[in-house]
Amino acid sequence: MNFDALFAKTGNKVVRCGLVGIGDFGASLLAQAEHVPNLKIALICDRDPARMAAAVAAAGADAADMAIVQDMDDADDIQLDVLVEATGNPEAAAAVGEQAIDRGQHLVMVSKEAAVVAGPILHARASAKGLVYTEVEGDQPSLLIGLMSWAKTIGLDVRAAGKSSEYDFVLGPDDSLTWRNQRHSNSGLTPLWERNDMSWQELTDAREARAANLGLPTRTVPDFCEMGVVVNASGFTPDRPEFHTPILRPTELAEAFKRSAEGGLLAGDRRIDVFNCLRRADEASFAGGVFILVNGHDDKTWDLLREKGHIVAEDAGVAVLYNPQHLLGIEAPITILAAGLLGIPTGATDPKPVVDLVARTNRDFAAGERLTITDAHHHEVAGLKPELIPAVRFAAANPCPYYLATGARLRKDVQAGTLVTAGMLEMNMGTVLARLRGEQDQHFGVQ
């Protein structure tokens, strides 16, 4: 795609953009916008004035040339074409998103935490007013939705799709394993580098057991959240609620994610999953990137592509195509310009509530305990594990959406292995997110 040609007919129009949330994503967007002539960050909003000042200074932006507020209620008179919501706080994102649509602004929803609970109704509301609601380039949901739509457009048959987890498993020559800033000796993964005579299920089970022995997670809430947004955009579904999340070398994806009848891991087609990238220190990272598995109908073509270095299964029936990167706010201008100049999304065109991100206990909880987030970066609550299940109405007897459950207090004892339902929780039903979720259930007839 030639992006000069894509935007050529829009002339010199400048998109006036508001940015809410100056964390890593927001700060990188603020800096990048300084180099995009037809994009103007006209407003920034964050609860932390010092963080805003530091981001403005680091970006080399002119603070006098933009409105700087701590609350969007103070931005009524600021004219914006597009609002980028990047707080990462599900309730704040829902409130700011609703407000932007009410003000007639296109909405770029970076906060997947709100999108996985109520994204489809925000999209429906925006569409009813002739506005764009979209996921953002620079984050995995939009990038994977785009990769899937590209494949469909050129006639490729996508049988599975997904992303790599955020942090690689890096194997050293001495069998040490590095994950994030942790280094573990004697990982036991060196003998499992090659599959040899094992099945894919046996190999991935053995690798996961080694990771578990080292106390390393293979499933994190953000991965489930992001892929939940993609499921609601695409209609693809998880192969199982907890995903497979295998530890795989990228070159193994085409074989490992075949159907189980073909020796792979997946029970069927149109599936979404996540893998944990296993690599050596001198190999490139998958960098939290996204991938698709496509059926190869012309063996001669795919044999040729294998010779050129593409990841193609041994029988040439399946190939992997991928984008091994996501660039945070550096890529976001594409989404903002597409919405502001062309009136089109880079993410979903017609999302529906297909799945819910919910929580299952992996320890006993006592009545009165609060489901407090213990890992702010990953939005994880110690003792809960994420699952993606078919969407159900937000009601007392049903599993509670994860981001409506977090922060709530338990009304009763809950045993390990239990899906957390709304009726188990003392909840504030007056939040914007809860209200929007109820509206979404009614709008789409969720039972």
pLDDT at residue 411 is higher than 80: yes
pLDDT at residue 228 is higher than 80: yes
Question: Residue 330 burial (CB < 10 Å; 0-12/13-18/19+)?
Answer: middle
Encode pLDDT of 40-53 as tens digits.
Answer: 999 999 999 999 99
252-264: b (≥16 Cβ within 10 Å) or e:
bbbbbbbbeeeeb
Distance in angstroms (rounded) separating the CA atoms of residues 293 and 162: 9
Task: Please give the radius of gyration of the chain, using alpha carbons only, rounded to the nearest integer.
Answer: 22
Share of the chain above pLDDT 70, in %: 100
Q: Which amino acid is at 159?
A: R
Q: In which band, very low, low, confident or very high, does the pLDDT at 224 lie, cut at 50, 70 and 90? A: very high
CA distance readout (Å), 116 to 73, 94, 149, 399: 25, 11, 20, 14
pLDDT at residue 156 is higher than 80: yes
The per-residue pLDDT for 316 is 76
Q: What are phi and psi of 417, to 5 degrees?
A: 90, 10
pTM: 0.97
Encode pLDDT of 167-187 as tens digits.
Answer: 999 999 999 999 999 999 999
Q: In which band, very low, low, confident or very high, does the pLDDT at 377 lie, cut at 50, 70 and 90? A: confident
The per-residue pLDDT for 88 is 96
The per-residue pLDDT for 249 is 98
The per-residue pLDDT for 119 is 98
Span 327-331, average pLDDT: 97
Encode pLDDT of 185-214 as tens digits.
Answer: 999 999 999 999 999 999 999 999 999 999
Encode pLDDT of 311-324 as tens digits.
Answer: 999 887 899 999 99
Structure tokens at 12: 């010199």
Report the chain's mean pLDDT, rounded to a whole number. Answer: 97
Distance in angstroms (rounded) separating the CA atoms of residues 115 and 93: 9
Nearest to 188 by CA among 201, 174, 198: 174
CA distance readout (Å), 39 to 88, 157, 320: 23, 36, 35
Structure tokens at 228: 């939940």
Q: How many residues does the chain have?
A: 447
The per-residue pLDDT for 378 is 87
The per-residue pLDDT for 297 is 86
Q: In which band, very low, low, confident or very high, does the pLDDT at 106 lie, cut at 50, 70 and 90? A: very high
Segment holding 151, helix H or strand E: helix 140-153
Q: Write the DSSP string, 48-111.
A: -HHHHHHHHHHHT--GGGSEEESSGGGGTT---SEEEE----HHHHHHHHHHHHHTT-EEEE--
Q: Which amino acid is at 183?
A: R
| Under 8 Å between Cβ of 288 and 165 | yes
Distance in angstroms (rounded) separating the CA atoms of residues 266 and 261: 9
Q: Is the dihedral of CA 189, 193, 197, 203 positive or negative?
A: positive
The per-residue pLDDT for 72 is 97
What lies within 8 Å, CB to CB, of 218 at 6+ separation is 165, 208, 211, 245, 246, 247, 276
- Complete domains list, the chain, with CATH: 3-138+329-342 (3.40.50.720), 142-325 (no CATH), 355-444 (3.90.1210.10)
Coil/strand/helix, residue 355:
strand
Share of the chain above pLDDT 90, in %: 97
The per-residue pLDDT for 315 is 84
pLDDT at residue 152 is higher than 90: yes
Span 76-103, average pLDDT: 97
Distance of alpha carbon 254 from the chain centroid: 22
Q: In which band, very low, low, confident or very high, does the pLDDT at 331 lie, cut at 50, 70 and 90? A: very high
Encode pLDDT of 236-280 as tens digits.
Answer: 999 999 999 999 999 999 999 999 999 999 999 999 999 999 999
Distance in angstroms (rounded) separating the CA atoms of residues 387 and 227: 11
Span 46-65, average pLDDT: 98
